[in-house]
Copies of this chain bind each other. A is one copy, B any other.
């Protein structure tokens, strides 16, 4: 049985592109399309797709809200693959907290897109294997509910600098030497990066840096 996919994106061009890429695969079938998050829930109920490829920015209901809505209201929810651009990286964290199973860059090559759909369909988290649930837990059943003002997820300049060095294989001590700061300072930045990326350790952060295209913008 093929993997069934529902496309949710306000741009017809993007939907057409995704459809072309995915339908070229014998084991993947696009069963429907929606132009806004607001239309997702009834479609999911009717079509029961395995995977929803969900855009982030949409006019009525964005992908984050739509993800939350689907996971909250549908009995056996589909896997949510958030489709985004690196410019949207501030939403990535939100998407993960909302329960998304992975995210994918629009600039990704066709093979990667196909790969991503297959992976999440198999139940794999595309980017952060365990941290998705970890974050959900941490903010979900904590003493106080999730803060109304979400933590700022956009990396600061310094944090981005640290991540770049991490992703080149430097240790904390080496980064400290390079930036001419104390080792504890680097630890602080690393911790902030891990939190913002939803990564459990530096390896996952580096994976995020590569997968998101962060490493190509330098």
A-side residues, CB < 8 A to B, are 111-112, 124, 127-131, 166-171, 174, 199-204, 206-207, 210, 216
11 contacts between A and B (CB under 8 A): A111-B216, A112-B216, A124-B168, A127-B169, A130-B174, A131-B169, A169-B200, A169-B204, A171-B201, A206-B206, A210-B210
**Bound Cα distance from A128 to B171, whole angstroms:** 12
**Bound Cα distance from A113 to B13, whole angstroms:** 31
| B129 contacts A207, C-beta separation under 8 Å | no
| A207 contacts B168, C-beta separation under 8 Å | yes
Q: Which residues of B contact A171 (CB under 8 A)?
A: 200-201
Q: Of B112, B131, B200, B203, which one neighbours A203 at CB under 8 angstroms?
A: B203
| A128 contacts B169, C-beta separation under 8 Å | yes
| B129 contacts A199, C-beta separation under 8 Å | no
